[in-house]
Chains A and B, each alone.
Chain A
Amino acid sequence: MKKRATMPKGALNLTASLVSILAGLLVGFILLMIFNFDKALYGFGNIVLTGLRTPDRVAKVLYTAAPLLMTGLSVGFAFKTGLFNIGASGQYTVGAVLALVGAILWQLPWYACILLGMIGGAVWGAIPGICKALFNVNEVITSIMFNWIGLFSANLFLYNSPRMLANAWGAINKDRTAALDKANPSAILPKLGMDKAMGSNYMNISIFIAIIAAFVMWYVLQKTTFGYELKACGYNRNASRYAGINDKRNIVLSMVIAGALSGLGGALYYLSGTGQFTMGKQLLSMGFNGIPIALLAASHPLGTILSALFIGYIQVGGEALQPEFAKEIIDIIIAAIIYLSAFSLLMRELILRGRSRRRQAEEEKSRQAADTVEE
Chain B
Amino acid sequence: MNILADILSATLLFAVPLLLVALGGMFSERSGIINIALEGIMVIGALISTLLLRAFDLSGFGPANPQLAVLIAVLAAGLSGMLYSLLLAFASINLKADQTIGGTALNMLAPAFAVVLTWAIQGQGNTTILIPGWVRITAENAGLAGAEGFFARLVFKSLYLTTPIALVLMAVSSFIMYKTRLGLRLRSCGEHPQAADSVGINVYRMRYIGVLISGFLGGVGGLAFTLAAGSGFQSQVAGYGFLALAVMIFGNWKPLNIFGAALFFAFFKIIGSYSGSIPFLPDFKEIRSSEYIYLMLPYIVTMIVLILTSKKSRAPKAEGIPYDKGAR
* Touch between chains A and B, by CB atoms below 8 Å: yes
Binds B, one of A214-222, A260-268, A332-340: A332-340
**A271 located at the interface, meaning its Cβ lies under 8 Å from any Cβ of chain B in the complex:** no
Interface hits, A279-294 → B, CB 8 Å: 281-283, 288, 291-292
A249 CB to nearest chain B CB (Å):
19
CA of A35 to CA of B116 in the docked complex: distance in angstroms? 9
Are B97 and A346 in contact, CB atoms less than 8 angstroms apart? yes
Interface hits, B98-133 → A, CB 8 Å: 98, 100-102, 104-106, 108-109, 111-113, 115-116, 119-120, 124
Give chain B residues whose Cβ lies under 8 Å from the Cβ of A291. 101, 104, 108
Are A328 and B288 in contact, CB atoms less than 8 angstroms apart? no
Are B289 and A339 in contact, CB atoms less than 8 angstroms apart? no
Are A282 and B236 in contact, CB atoms less than 8 angstroms apart? yes
Give chain B residues whose Cβ lies under 8 Å from the Cβ of A144. 239, 242
Interface 0/1 of A332-366, CB less than 8 Å to B: 10111011011101100000000000000000000
The interface size of chain B toward A, counting residues with CB under 8 Å, comes to 46
Interface hits, A147-195 → B, CB 8 Å: 147-149, 152-153, 155-156, 159-160
When C-beta atoms are compared, the residue in chain B nearest to A138 turns out to be B249
Give chain A residues whose Cβ lies under 8 Å from the Cβ of B111. 328, 331
Interface hits, B286-305 → A, CB 8 Å: 287-290, 292-293, 295-296, 299-300, 302-303
CA of A329 to CA of B299 in the docked complex: distance in angstroms? 30
Give chain B residues whose Cβ lies under 8 Å from the Cβ of A160. 287-289
CA of A282 to CA of B238 in the docked complex: distance in angstroms? 8
Give chain A residues whose Cβ lies under 8 Å from the Cβ of B100. 84, 140
Measured as residues with beta carbon below 8 angstroms from the partner, the interface class of chain A is: 35 or more
Are A156 and B109 in contact, CB atoms less than 8 angstroms apart? no
A283 CB to nearest chain B CB (Å):
8
Are B112 and A346 in contact, CB atoms less than 8 angstroms apart? no
A270 CB to nearest chain B CB (Å):
20
Give chain A residues whose Cβ lies under 8 Å from the Cβ of B120. 35, 326
**A136 located at the interface, meaning its Cβ lies under 8 Å from any Cβ of chain B in the complex:** yes
A265 CB to nearest chain B CB (Å):
18
Q: Which residue in B36, B236, B296 is a CB contact (below 8 Å) of A148?
A: B296
**A244 located at the interface, meaning its Cβ lies under 8 Å from any Cβ of chain B in the complex:** no
Are B109 and A159 in contact, CB atoms less than 8 angstroms apart? no
Are B302 and A145 in contact, CB atoms less than 8 angstroms apart? yes
Are A329 and B96 in contact, CB atoms less than 8 angstroms apart? no
**A86 located at the interface, meaning its Cβ lies under 8 Å from any Cβ of chain B in the complex:** yes
Are A136 and B310 in contact, CB atoms less than 8 angstroms apart? yes
**A116 located at the interface, meaning its Cβ lies under 8 Å from any Cβ of chain B in the complex:** no
When C-beta atoms are compared, the residue in chain A nearest to B120 turns out to be A35
Give chain A residues whose Cβ lies under 8 Å from the Cβ of B116. 31, 35, 325-326, 328-329, 332
A128 CB to nearest chain B CB (Å):
9
Interface hits, A285-340 → B, CB 8 Å: 288, 291-292, 295, 323, 325-326, 328-332, 334-336, 338-339
CA of A6 to CA of B246 in the docked complex: distance in angstroms? 41
Q: Which residue in B98, B112, B119 is a CB contact (below 8 Å) of A332?
A: B112
Are B109 and A332 in contact, CB atoms less than 8 angstroms apart? yes
B37 CB to nearest chain A CB (Å):
10
Q: Which of B236, B293, B295 has the most C-beta atoms of chain A within 10 angstroms of its own C-beta?
A: B295
**A131 located at the interface, meaning its Cβ lies under 8 Å from any Cβ of chain B in the complex:** yes
When C-beta atoms are compared, the residue in chain A nearest to B286 turns out to be A160
CA of A155 to CA of B287 in the docked complex: distance in angstroms? 12
**A142 located at the interface, meaning its Cβ lies under 8 Å from any Cβ of chain B in the complex:** yes
**B245 located at the interface, meaning its Cβ lies under 8 Å from any Cβ of chain A in the complex:** yes
When C-beta atoms are compared, the residue in chain B nearest to A339 turns out to be B105
Interface 0/1 of B260-286, CB less than 8 Å to A: 000000000000000000000000000
Are A343 and B293 in contact, CB atoms less than 8 angstroms apart? no
- Contacts A152-B296, A282-B236, A336-B109; is A326 near B119 (CB within 8 Å)? yes
Give chain A residues whose Cβ lies under 8 Å from the Cβ of B287. 156, 160
**B169 located at the interface, meaning its Cβ lies under 8 Å from any Cβ of chain A in the complex:** no
B168 CB to nearest chain A CB (Å):
28
Are A131 and B101 in contact, CB atoms less than 8 angstroms apart? no
Give chain B residues whose Cβ lies under 8 Å from the Cβ of A342. 91, 95, 97-98, 101-102, 105
Q: Which residue in B91, B106, B119, B292 is a CB contact (below 8 Å) of A156?
A: B292
Are B112 and A339 in contact, CB atoms less than 8 angstroms apart? no
Give chain A residues whose Cβ lies under 8 Å from the Cβ of B124. 323
Enumerate the 6 nearest inter-chain pairs by beta-carbon distance, A residue then B residue, closest first. A331-B112, A335-B109, A342-B97, A339-B105, A338-B105, A335-B108
Q: Which residues of A contact B (CB under 8 A)?
A: 31, 35, 84, 86, 131, 135-138, 140-142, 144-149, 152-153, 155-156, 159-160, 281-283, 288, 291-292, 295, 323, 325-326, 328-332, 334-336, 338-339, 341-343, 345-346
Q: Which residues of B contact A (CB under 8 A)?
A: 36, 87, 91, 95-98, 100-102, 104-106, 108-109, 111-113, 115-116, 119-120, 124, 236, 238-239, 242, 245-246, 249, 287-290, 292-293, 295-296, 299-300, 302-303, 306-307, 310-311
Q: A138-B249, A345-B101 are in contact. List 9 more A-B contacts (CB 8 A).
A: A141-B302, A145-B246, A145-B302, A145-B303, A160-B288, A295-B101, A338-B101, A342-B105, A346-B96
27 contacts across the A-B interface (CB closer than 8 A): A35-B120, A137-B307, A140-B36, A141-B245, A141-B306, A145-B300, A147-B239, A149-B299, A149-B300, A152-B299, A156-B289, A156-B293, A160-B289, A291-B108, A323-B124, A331-B109, A331-B111, A332-B109, A332-B116, A334-B108, A338-B104, A339-B87, A339-B109, A342-B91, A342-B98, A343-B97, A346-B97
